Structure 1
């Protein structure tokens, strides 16, 4: 997948700003990035500015795919209060996302009842990683995706608030309390 021009510019700005950045200047935020949609167009994180977002790399043929139900539960429980859940299908872990395009979103909907946004298949690690995932790895270097269903919570302010490993179920109190804290943040 080609890197979007604005994502590349945001990453370059973040890397070159370093010490030249004014003390009060905002660093690059999650809202600087966008994912491609399987049906075409983009899913800009800026559309969710001021709201918490849970970004999860997914795979429909993964043994952790039952977590889709838990993610849907979070979306159902907290969506009206402002939470957005975004599935980012990835081929990076054992190619457990064998589908492409709209077929991924269709499978997530039909097999797991997903109604939250599903992005186009995207690399989440390595040199081909989407700029959002490179940005997140820079902010939480020891907490990067090691498998499918790694979860990043973006705060209302666009900052990366938390990362949760694959094994942490979406209903885990750590995830729920982090989301509740962000929903309560003004």
Structure 2
């Protein structure tokens, strides 16, 4: 199984098959608008603009499971990201990344790359998963890891 085998929901409810991203390097991130890590949108957008032309994509999944830091609906989230951080990478439908309602993509990501001490749980918003061009999860980065700190890992895969 690979990341590109999954389908995910868009904010309007339609489904998007991640096979559309086959052959690209992906950074999959659970995001939130009212989090101490929210300013990472700036670094994520910078990476996206720098490397998108080389086959890099960021897939952002809003999540309200950590301190209720993403309470808005899809339109509010998109507006916040656009107005405050000029985000141009895709924002998908809000997901759950832990617990019984875990999105299937996130269940797979957590199995593919566990966190510190082997735990699969996502600890907080802005956990990042780096996926190679073949759809394999190659690295997991903690919420505290700033986007600029993972640039070299992205560049290696491109």
TM range (shorter): over 0.9
Which residue pairs with 2:128 in the alignment? 151
Give the superposed CA RMSD: 1.1
Instruction: Please tell me whether residue 76 in structure 1 is matched to residue 49 in structure 2.
Output: yes
Instruction: Please tell me whether residue 48 in structure 1 is matched to residue 21 in structure 2.
Output: yes
Which residue pairs with 1:160 in the alignment? 137
RCO greater where, 1 or 2, for CA within 8 Å and sep 6 or more? 2
Shift of residue 161 of structure 1? 0.8
Shift of residue 102 of structure 1? 2.3
Instruction: Please tell me whether residue 179 in structure 1 is matched to residue 131 in structure 2.
Output: no
- Partners of 1:141 and 1:130 lie apart in 2 by 16
Shift of residue 126 of structure 1? 1.4
- Partners of 1:52 and 1:102 lie apart in 2 by 27
Of 135-144 and 125-134, the range deviating more from structure 2: 135-144
Residue 104 of structure 2, aligned match among 131, 137, 145: 131
Segments of structure 1 that go 5 or more residues without pairing to the other structure are 1-27
- If you compute each CA radius of gyration, which structure gives the higher value, 1 or 2? 1
- Partners of 1:109 and 1:35 lie apart in 2 by 21
Shift of residue 94 of structure 1? 0.7
Structure 1 consecutive aligned stretches of length 4 or more whose deviation exceeds 4 Å? none
TM-score under structure 2 length normalisation? 0.93
* Partner-residue secondary structure (3-state), 2:48: helix
Segments of structure 2 that go 5 or more residues without pairing to the other structure are none
Shift of residue 137 of structure 1? 1.2
- Partners of 1:45 and 1:59 lie apart in 2 by 22
Shift of residue 142 of structure 1? 2.6
Shift of residue 49 of structure 1? 0.2
* Partner-residue secondary structure (3-state), 1:171: helix
- Partners of 1:38 and 1:107 lie apart in 2 by 14
* Partner-residue secondary structure (3-state), 2:148: coil
Number of equivalences: 154
Map 1:1-186 → 2, pairs under 5 A: 28-142=1-115, 144-172=121-149, 175-183=150-158
